[in-house]
Amino acid sequence: MVEHIEDQEEKHEVTTMLHKYYKIFDITKLNISNLKAPPMINTGDNPPISSRAYRTDQHRGQLISRTVNKMVQAGQVKRSYSSWS
């Protein structure tokens, strides 16, 4: 959680604070980002944009699939059957 902090003193302070207040952090759910996306994006009458999925190797594909499934189970995302998805 603090690997990105380069200054050792600052890293120590943050680590100490995290340990002191660990009860206020919810670590039971997968947390990838703090992005607050709107639930609906108005696309008007425009047709869906067609694009291929990004290519990835088998190992990375399995990791992506497991991560998405965890997010679905945690209620952070839901499956979409829209022609835009």
State the pLDDT at residue 81. Answer: 82
Q: What is the pLDDT along the chain (85 residues), one digit of tens a residue?
A: 788 899 999 999 999 998 898 887 766 666 666 666 666 777 888 888 878 888 999 999 999 999 889 888 888 788 888 777 7
Q: 14: exposed, middle or buried (C-beta count within 10 Å: 0-12, 13-18, 19+)?
A: middle
State the pLDDT at residue 24. Answer: 79
HSE-CB of 1 using CA atoms within 13 angstroms: 12
Q: The whole model's pTM is what? A: 0.48
State the pLDDT at residue 11. Answer: 93
Boundaries of every domain in the chain? 1-31
